[in-house]
Amino acid sequence: QVQLVESGGGLAQAGDSLRLSCAASTETFSSYGMGWFRQPPGKEREFVAHIRSSRGSTYYADSVTGRFTISRDNVKNTVYLQMNSLKPEDTAVYYCAAMRLGYGLIRRPDQYDYWGQGTQVTVSS
């Protein structure tokens, strides 16, 4: 079992920035593809961003492209989500997820093997 712990969520105003962190409990962290998902109130979980295990290629949902940046530190076993120019529509519980294999269908939640507990992000106008 791999444990993922998110941190960095909170309350922000429109236009503010937040940086989310996700710490993994495995020394094989570098072999996992890592994703961020979010679940707005009353809506289903949706894909936000993904970073590949080896090459570090990144992918984003259209709604966050140009505003959010995913990155990883394989020494600290941590993945980050830098969120800039926040909008009220970004309000959601944000989840970190790990994919065992280096390649998969990154926008599908069922492709991920481990999930964090989630961290709340609330953006006011």
With a cut of 70, which residues of the chain have pLDDT below it? 102
pLDDT in the model for residue 12: 98
pLDDT in the model for residue 55: 75
pLDDT in the model for residue 93: 98
Distance separating alpha carbons of residues 114 and 90, to the nearest angstrom: 23
Distance separating alpha carbons of residues 89 and 102, to the nearest angstrom: 31
pLDDT in the model for residue 102: 62
